[in-house]
Amino acid sequence: MHVDPKREMVQSKGGRIGMALLLIVVFLAIFAPLLTTYEPLEQTVQIFAAPSWEHPLGTNHVGQDIWSQLVYAARTSLLVGLLVAVFSTVLSALIGTSAALIGGVYDHVVMRLVDAFIIIPIIILLILLSVYFNPNLSRGPLLIGIGVLIVIAVICISLYAVRNLGWVGMLIVCPLIALVLLSRDIIQSTGGLIIILALLCWQGGARVVRAQALSLKENAYISAVQGFGASIRYIIRRHIIPELGPLLVADFIFCVRRAVFLQAGLAFIGIGDPNVVSWGSMISDARDWIFLDVWVWWLLPAGIALSVTIVAVTLIGYSLEPALDPRLRGEVSAQN
Amino acid sequence: MFTRQNLIIYLVALLIILTLNFLLPRMMPGNPIIAIYGDVAVVQMSPELEAELTERFSLDQSLGRQFVSYWAALFRGDLGYSYAYNAPVAEVIFGRLPWTLLLAGLALVISTIMGILLGIESGWRRGKRLDGSLLTGMITLSGFPDFLLGILLLLLFAVNLQLLPLFGAESAYSDLGGFQRLADIGKHLLLPLVTLVLARVSGGYLLTRNAFIGELKEPYILLARAKGLKQETIRYRHAGRNSLLPVMTRTGVLLGLMVTGVLFVEIVFSYPGIGLATYEALTYRDYPLLQGLLLVSAICVLTANFIADLFYSKVDPRVSYAR
Amino acid sequence: MLKIENLSVSFEGERVLKGIDLEVQAGECIGVVGESGAGKTTLGLSTMRLLNGNVSGKIYIGDMELMALSEEETRRIRWNRVAMAFQSAENRLNPTQQILDQVAEPMIAHLLSGTAKAKQRAAEVLQEAGLAMAKFHHYPHQLSAGEQQRVLIAMALINDPEVLILDEPISSLDAGSRIEMITFLKQAIEDRAVLVMTHDISTAARLTSKVATLYGGRIVELGPTNSVLSRPRHPYTRALLRSYPNMTTMKDLQGIKGRMDRQATGCAFHPRCTQAITICKKQIPPLVKHDRWLAACHRGGIIPALSVNKLSKYFGQLEAVAEVSLTLEHGETLALVGQSGSGKTTLARMIAGILKPDKGYIQLETGESEWKGKDYHRTVQLVFQNPGEALSHRLTVLESVREPLEIQGIGDKEERDEIAKKVIEEVELPNTDKFLDEYPHHLSGGELQRVNIARALVLDPKVLIADEPTAFLDSSIQAKVLKLLMDLQENRGLSMLFITHDIAVARKISDRIAVMQEGRIVEQGLTSQVITSPSHTHTRKLLNAAAELHAGDEDEAMPITF
């Protein structure tokens, strides 16, 4: 069945709402400096100020402008979410396809690894790793290495998105690139976290990609094309990647969702660079002061912003589901 | 899908965790005691304790010997000594474990059953009002992380309305017995439980609903209608039962994550379980406790997965066939 | 009993069943035969009110009218008074329920008996249906398609319904199992009103007493099984039988020209019918009773294209043709078989309007003909034996083929050329200028015969008489020409009178055979019957002398002749 992810996303009501919401968040993130008057980390003397013209959402326990924190935190979540998804999807695609096509011992070993990783509870692993490793990457060579990886991965995804998803692809890629450029400092601090999260997220996608690639391999159509003398590269480029496309798009979206969730959770328990503003850390800080009324303009907006972002991504992802599972199509109810 | 292969996978996963657990602190530069216990703890430790620990874990000997001693200690049930709690790690952990199991177990059962029932009813009325609103509601709900839900509920019911307690598993220092104690535990359990159920139910709901919608299109449903079976029978015994597999698979995974999945909720409600202990261990840099917790969690995860596997083929005979 | 009155079903604006009337008494078994998409399963499902589309009309199960019942009342009737044995398919049975439980389920659900007894009864029925006991506690995916079919049939019988619908009951079984299943079914359907839906005519032949043909959502023919299958009255039924491989008919398979057109106005079959007239395009023919059978056709079923009444011809004293009466039905091939001197060719020439009969007359379709009138020749054409002689050596291919058009004054020069060229293509000859300019003596026997045929077709006749068309050709060319003739018949809807001395060829090409001896028709009938059980000695003689490829008893068979 020919599936066009772009079409599915645009046509479904949920998909449209999701994209609209996400666009708002992206807008806030990119134009943060223009929308705020104070720096997010700038401490003033006005502690727990109520919302006013000067501080639209008031200030927190150290006098930082909440509105500004809220808006800049969007960058963190989006950046981490998107970059983790970028890496993870690329890894899933590579490992999944190679496992399917190469087969044999390689496939066996890779799949056992995948299974083992899926079972391990991520939080525990992250906590363990965070104790011993500092996610802050101030070290030079590692930073450059990661920077290069980011550039490569982003280029790959951009090419695919623009070529196959048309204007929707542009909609994903442009903000992504803008965000990456604007938030180089965040990357420096969270780069390690991004890599680690990506290393823990690719397994799910790899399994699915491998299954699909395997069934494609057996596809009579592929045999036919081989009968015309097509090379492996041609087959991968012309037939396998387009088939895997929708799967990878769906995987990407759900990975963004997971990453945003995880990053917020980790920030909540205090893992990560304290200088990086994120909704999770805001919620964590606000929690200490829930006895005061301040939670209304401190905790709630951060929570809503986080939820809206996740729901937006979920809606987009969910709009793709009927495309991937034909049994979900049609609007007939069982009751007649 | 109980196979030897799976057993091997579990053992491999366990080994990875244990080995990491062993290696990481010992790979840090400096005195292993500091790496294991953290500098804060060591500073405050008495020299006798320091000497005893060094000996117990062979910390002044070669890596190999340390490894052996590590495993020996494991088998002894000696997980080390918790500095923050001033008690053996094993004691701390096993004192906390039951609370987590209570909360997580109840949450799992309730959210799964609710998810299944709502998913079936929603799928049956696909496209109609109930389905539309449930679906929207569930998707919105799925956007809320469990800690956020917990905080909001806490705010509403405990802080503002003051209906329910703020923290703990039971009222401290109270000498309640029997039914009264049960009620007290229940009151403390309510908010965290509701939080967890709300956070988890959407997953099961969506999976069930999707599977259910797919099943309704299968030929055997027409046959069931032709047989003159009642709608409820078709809905539950036929289509419903056959939609359980995805959600059961997920439940199996959740079962494994049961112990560790309640971390955030325990933190928010200060509920004295394994999760809170982990958080505290992290905050106080109580490394032995942390490592002990990791180990126990890992074992719980693997055991739970194992049990889940045993039940899969009972739920859906297609499973053994598909493999 | 089951009675369906004026049932019409449409899905999303498309009408699948139109005005179906059918009645099945207790103890009766009626087959509904049709190709896929004809609406058989829809018809079956409608008797249980399981359709999602727009349904109008009335359905009676006994004395209860289904459309008037509430959903709950209908539910209670289902499976108890009317049950359907579905066609086996993947996931037709609940994949997670054991076989025995599934079969017992309807009995328990309708409170007909307790669980234990229901399971016992289920076991009994399953055994009768031929399922091995070991499989009772298996799951559907562990059974083969044939075994699943048995389960479905057993399941349908368990509540002892008075009306039973069988949907393709034996299609998924292998040959050996089919016989068993038919025996079982024959017993199982006693005293019930049974409707059998199938595309497989032999199923209908073995199980049913009456059979109906379904085309384009309507019943086009309904009659006793034996007569419908041997002597179909509706062009579609006949075409269906011709395209169905079986051990009875001898004629080579032929398809039906065109495809089913759901948007056809009037009679749904008219675009593919050989005897369609104007009214067929405009009005839907009602199902009309003729004797013991019903047919939906404006022309009252298959009509004769040509009938010969007591035709006689004398050459002096010799009675070349003596009181010959023949009917050539529309769209059929009638083979006239006889030895040389039997009068075949004389008869052929008379029918072709070349030789005037001394006694008797010829009738075209329904009206009497004006013999030798111009119109006659437009309807009946003759292909001669010896193509070399039949074509003028002075005319080129194109000119020969074009000639009849010129004689009849049809169209202008350009149009005649067009038509001629098209027909030349139809007989699989090259359309090149070079070929069209060839003279007969440059052509091979096969090519000549094709030109001959083309010339005969250029006036678009309805009846084609082929007089020993392959007599002068090599055997390899013979086969091709014969095939060509059959294809032409299929594509143009010709009625063909095929004259030959060779009964083996007649067997392969004809629906009916008439055997001629010394100017008289000594035997005529269905090819399958005449060949297998000839009644006249002359026929037997011809059969004995016919070509066989086995080296048999030398004294019984004459030497092989072609």
What whole-number distance in Å separates Cα of residue A199 and Cα of residue A120?
13
Instruction: Pick the residue of A110, A119, A278, A299 with the most B CBs within 10 A to test the interface with B by mutation.
Output: A119
With CB atoms and an 8 Å threshold, state whether B227 touches C96: no
Instruction: Pick the residue of B220, B245, B321 with the most C CBs within 10 A to test the interface with C by mutation.
Output: B220
pLDDT at B117: 94
SS3 C3: strand
Phi-psi category of residue B164: left, alpha or beta, with phi > 0 → left and psi -120 to 50 → alpha: beta
With CB atoms and an 8 Å threshold, state whether C96 touches B226: no
At C497-530, the pLDDT tens digits run 999 988 888 998 999 999 999 889 999 999 988 9
CB-CB neighbors (< 8 A) of B213 in chain A: 327-328
CB-CB neighbors (< 8 A) of A306 in chain B: 145, 148
CB-CB neighbors (< 8 A) of B290 in chain A: 127-128, 131
Look at the alpha carbons of C328, C331, C332, C335 in this order and tell me if their dihedral is positive or negative.
positive
What whole-number distance in Å separates Cα of residue A124 and Cα of residue A200?
12
If you ran DSSP here, which 8-state letter would residue A336 be given? -
pLDDT at C489: 86
CB-CB neighbors (< 8 A) of A120 in chain B: 13, 16-17, 298, 301
Instruction: Pick the residue of C91, C96, C138, C139 with the most B CBs within 10 A to test the interface with B by mutation.
Output: C96
Buried b (16+ CB within 10 A) or exposed e, C99-112: bbbbbbbbbbbbeb
Average pLDDT over residues A22-33: 86
Of B5, B152, B268, the CB nearest to A303: B152
Count the helix, strand and coil residues of chain C and give each as a percent rounded to the nearest 5. 40, 25, 40
With CB atoms and an 8 Å threshold, state whether B210 touches A124: no
If you ran DSSP here, which 8-state letter would residue C198 be given? E
pLDDT at C333: 92
Average pLDDT, chain A: 78
What whole-number distance in Å separates Cα of residue B319 and Cα of residue B249?
11
Integer Rg of chain B from CA: 24
Of C86, C109, C155, the CB nearest to B229: C109
Q: Is the CB of residue A51 less than 8 Å away from at least one CB of chain B?
A: no
Residue B256 and residue B298 in contact, taking contact as beta carbons nearer than 8 Å = no
| CA distances, C351 to each of A68, C317, C364, C380, C463 (Å) | 104, 21, 10, 8, 10
Of C50, C79, C93, the CB nearest to B220: C93
Average pLDDT over residues A213-230: 72
Range from A52-61, A126-135, A146-155, B135-144 that averages highest in pLDDT = B135-144
Two tokens, residue B125: 């009325």
pLDDT at B193: 93
CB-CB neighbors (< 8 A) of C155 in chain B: 227
How does pLDDT run along chain B (323 residues), one tens digit per residue? 456 667 777 777 777 777 777 776 666 555 556 656 666 666 666 777 767 766 666 666 666 777 777 777 777 777 777 777 778 888 888 888 888 999 999 999 999 999 999 999 999 998 888 898 999 899 999 989 989 999 888 888 877 777 777 777 777 666 667 777 788 888 888 889 999 999 999 989 998 998 898 889 899 999 999 998 999 989 999 998 888 878 887 887 788 777 778 889 998 888 888 888 888 887 777 777 877 887 787 778 777 777 777 776 566 665 554 43
What is the total residue count of chain A?
A: 336
Which residues does chain C have with pLDDT short of 50?
557-562
pLDDT at B113: 94
pLDDT at B29: 56
Chain A residues 250-279 within an 8 A CB cutoff of chain B:
261, 264-265, 268-271
ipTM passes above 0.90? no
With CB atoms and an 8 Å threshold, state whether A269 touches B267: yes
Look at the alpha carbons of A283, A285, A288, A291 in this order and tell me if their dihedral is positive or negative.
negative
More confident residue, A172 or C115: C115
Å between B63 CA and nearest CA of chain A:
18
Two tokens, residue C269: 């079959």
Integer Rg of chain A from CA: 22
More confident residue, A112 or C155: C155
pLDDT at C210: 93
Helix (H) or strand (E) holding B257: helix B244-261
How far out from the chain centre does Cα A267 lie?
16
With CB atoms and an 8 Å threshold, state whether B13 touches A116: yes
pLDDT at C98: 92
Å between B152 CA and nearest CA of chain C:
43
| CA distances, C463 to each of A59, A119, B237, C297, C377 (Å) | 101, 80, 64, 21, 10
Å between C141 CA and nearest CA of chain B:
8
How far out from the chain centre does Cα B59 lie?
33
Instruction: Give residue ranges of B with CB < 8 Å to any C CB.
Output: 218-220, 222-230, 233, 238, 241-242, 316-318, 321
Which chains have 3 or more CB–CB distances shorter than 8 Å to chain B?
A: A, C
Say which amino acid occupies A197.
Answer: L
* Contact residues for C171 (Cβ-Cβ < 8 A; gap 6+): C87, C198, C199, C200, C203
Two tokens, residue C119: 């399971």
CB-CB neighbors (< 8 A) of C110 in chain B: 228
pLDDT at B33: 64
Residue C10 and residue C39 in contact, taking contact as beta carbons nearer than 8 Å = no
Of C89, C91, C96, the CB nearest to B317: C96
Of C50, C94, C139, the CB nearest to B220: C94
Helix (H) or strand (E) holding C84: strand C82-85
Q: Is the CB of residue A108 less than 8 Å away from at least one CB of chain B?
A: no
With CB atoms and an 8 Å threshold, state whether C109 touches B230: yes
Q: Is the CB of residue C151 less than 8 Å away from at least one CB of chain B?
A: no
Instruction: Pick the residue of B215, B218, B227, B230 with the most C CBs within 10 A to test the interface with C by mutation.
Output: B227
With CB atoms and an 8 Å threshold, state whether A268 touches B264: yes
Å between B255 CA and nearest CA of chain C:
24
With CB atoms and an 8 Å threshold, state whether B233 touches C109: yes
Nearest CA in chain B to C72: B230
pLDDT at B183: 81
Which chains have 3 or more CB–CB distances shorter than 8 Å to chain C?
A: B
